[in-house]
Structure 1
Amino acid sequence: MNKWQIEDLLKDYHWKLHSVKIMRESMNEINVSMVAQYGLQAAMPKASGDPSDPILKEVERRDERWKKIHAFERDIKFIQSRLELISDERETEVLHWLLEGKSMRWIGLHMGLSDKHIGRIKDRVVAHMSHKSQTSERCTV
């Protein structure tokens, strides 16, 4: 992954994490409420009709939703696997607030630094994370 992709992941981390939580909860609620476990409905054959079949379309929609959840989880795990690379206190603090979804201006006000200085710290964090990414890609090639 290049630096811009990692920056985007840092920026999107907070909402993706929140979205995964909500999507998982809603998908689990839907799955429990729509699958008959007992009685006559449980013994009935499941729909597998033509493309206009509403049940088939719903299954396909949910399948796409699960794919989206897994893509978000992959992005979240990518960032989480690189957290230990950041050891400097300022970099760790900036990273923490970025992952919480705070803006660089907010972080700067919170830490008593300019937002440009926060931007430079963020660039160092991204450089550390992308360095591991590049070295691991070289090892696998």
Structure 2
Amino acid sequence: MTEKQLEQLLKDYHWMINSVKIMREGLNDIGEGMTTQYGLQAAMPKASGNPSDPIYREFERRDKRWKKITNYEMKIKIVQERIYLINIDREIEVLHWLLEGKSMRWIGQHMRLSDRHIGRIKDTITRKMSHLSDRSEK
């Protein structure tokens, strides 16, 4: 994984975590409150695989959302598996705030450092985290 790709994952981490949580809740709530159907409802047609069938289209939409959740979870896992590589206090603090979705300017003000210095720390973090794949390939 390149440093640029990892940097983008760090930027996206916060909203991906929130999106996964909300999407899971929404998709899991769909089945609640449903009861067994009897009589005419039990005989009603189910999703057929026909693209013009509204039930089938809804199934496809939800399936795409589950695939999106899986994709986000994979990206989140990439970051989480590399967090242990960061062990210097300043870097740990910057990484924490980046994962919380804070801007470099906000982090700089919080830590009383310039946002340029925070940028250099972020670059060091992404360099360390991106080299995990280099080590595992050897």
Using structure 1 for the length normalisation, give the TM-score: 0.90
More helix by share: 1
SS in 2 for 1:77: helix
Number of residues of Structure 1 aligned to a counterpart in Structure 2: 136
Match of 1:9 in 2: 9
Match of 2:24 in 1: 24
- Aligned structure 1 segments of 4 or more residues deviating by more than 3 angstroms: 41-45
Question: Which sections of structure 1, spanning at least 5 residues, go unmatched?
Answer: none
Match of 1:50 in 2: 50
Cα deviation for residue 51 of structure 1 reads 1.1
Match of 1:38 among 36, 39, 45: 36
Alpha-carbon distance between aligned partners in 2 of 1:78 and 1:42, rounded to the nearest angstrom: 45
**How high is the sequence identity, in percent, across the aligned residues?**
62
Task: Write the letter of the residue equivalent to 1:70.
Answer: T
Using structure 2 for the length normalisation, give the TM-score: 0.92
Question: Which sections of structure 2, spanning at least 5 residues, go unmatched?
Answer: none
Alpha-carbon distance between aligned partners in 2 of 1:49 and 1:121, rounded to the nearest angstrom: 52
RMSD: 1.6
Cα deviation for residue 38 of structure 1 reads 1.3
Task: Write the letter of the residue equivalent to 1:110.
Answer: H
Match of 1:130 in 2: 130
Distance 1:88 1:26, change over 3 A: same
Alpha-carbon distance between aligned partners in 1 of 2:63 and 2:37, rounded to the nearest angstrom: 26
